[in-house]
Amino acid sequence: MVPCKQNGSTLLEVVIAMMILALVVVGLNVGVVSLIKSNISSKELTSATTVGNQLFEKLRRADYSALVADMDTVRERYVRDWKVTATASHTKIDLTVSWPLTVLNHAIALSTIIAEP
């Protein structure tokens, strides 16, 4: 009897190749999910900073003597809480913008100084 020469892969080789491919796909999936979460977090941080800067511009246009601490909500998502500290020559405004992202709350602190006219 003459042995036949096989030109294909064995079932074991195919299963091992499929397992390696599955591990690579799972690894790529984890990377994509992480990238999407990072992108969402970056977008939220940028929006919160914009909301804070909009308040600063509003306060810069307001009457200097009318600057007071307060709190408000923007787009039913961002909560702005600011404190005003006045001195003889300027007023310092410390602002905290907080927002929920999934389960956790996130916040960013901003501050500015408005000189007395």
Tens of pLDDT, residue by residue over 14-37, are 899 999 999 999 999 999 999 999
3-state DSSP assignment of residue 107:
strand
**Mean pLDDT for the chain?**
89
Whether residue 80 is contained in a domain is answered as yes
Whether residue 73 is contained in a domain is answered as yes
Whether residue 5 is contained in a domain is answered as no
**With a threshold of 0.85, does the pTM exceed it?**
no
Domain total of the chain: 1
Tens of pLDDT, residue by residue over 45-70, are 999 999 999 999 999 998 888 889 99
Whether residue 1 is contained in a domain is answered as no
Quickly list DSSP for 48-68. Answer: HHHHHHHHHHHHHHS-GGG--
Alpha helix (H) ranges present in the chain?
A: 11-61
